[in-house]
Amino acid sequence: MARPRPVQTVPTKHSHDDAPDTSAEFDEIARLPDGPEKEALRQRVVEAWMPMAERLARQYRNRGESLEDLQQVAALGLVKAVKRYDPEHGTAFAGFAVPTIVGEIKRHFRDHLWVLHVPRRVQDLRNRVRAAHRELSHSLDDRPPRTDEIAARTGLTEKEVRAGMEALGSFTPLSLDAQLTGADDGYSLVDTLGAQEPAYDRVVDREAVRPGLTRLPDRERQILYMRFFCDMTQSRIAEQLGISQMHVSRLLNRTCSTLRDQALAETA
């Protein structure tokens, strides 16, 4: 003998105009055993409630995710809600489905769309600060709300509010190509970044060949000095040393090769 079902109160009319009446279908789902018939009935319920799920998804558009992807996430939340809903608990399906769908959408934003890794606690602060900032902006004559005002609205400390405001930039960080505030010549953020100083490499190279320079014969060391420190041409060096320009060229090539091989050998 089947046990009697508890008496359910008739819920008041909800604000979801696109919510269908599927109470009979849910009663049937509760009685059916697991199998194709039960899954087919659940699918029909999902299709009936899909307009509401898509409406909830549209509330989160223009936040860095395409509407199509948001609708897919909302549909997944609806499927979970239909599968988990138990009419015997006495709660209208809309009251169970809406937080399930919205929670799935928020989880999607939290897990997949943060460009920078932000701790869960800071993400929660961001959401509370963002909601309070939006609410206060409508009641302060378009004046940006102050930190203390947001703290009073949310019950957070001013330090927590500042952490939440900093996290806003982690969700959609500024592009390096963005023009700097007040710059009218196309000067962008990337122009403020430093680059590797090539002189550092030259210092390392000079220190690497220093031991080999001390072992060179005087003439080869003099030729290197005249060529690379005095910036003299090979012809001028040859004229001052009384040798041919071709001989200067051979000495330079041989000396440089010797210094390079010695530096590489010592490094190895």
Question: Domains in the chain, please, with CATH?
Answer: 23-112 (1.20.120.1810), 115-171 (1.10.10), 198-267 (1.10.10.10)
For helices 198-214 and 245-267, give the axis angle rounded to 10 degrees.
100
**pLDDT (tens digit, 0 to 9) for every residue of the chain, 268 residues total?**
444 444 343 333 445 556 788 889 998 998 989 899 999 999 999 999 999 999 999 988 877 678 888 899 999 999 999 999 988 887 889 888 999 999 898 888 766 665 556 677 877 888 888 888 878 877 656 678 889 989 998 999 999 998 888 877 665 566 666 666 666 666 777 777 777 777 778 888 888 888 888 888 999 999 999 998 899 999 999 999 999 999 999 999 999 998 888 888 877 6
Question: What residues does 179 pair with on adjacent strands?
Answer: 188
Q: Residue 244, SS3?
A: coil
Residue with the two structure tokens 């509370």: 128
How far apart are alpha carbons 161 and 127 in whole angstroms? Answer: 10
Closest Cα partner for 113 from 179, 193, 167?
Answer: 167
Stated pTM of the model? 0.42
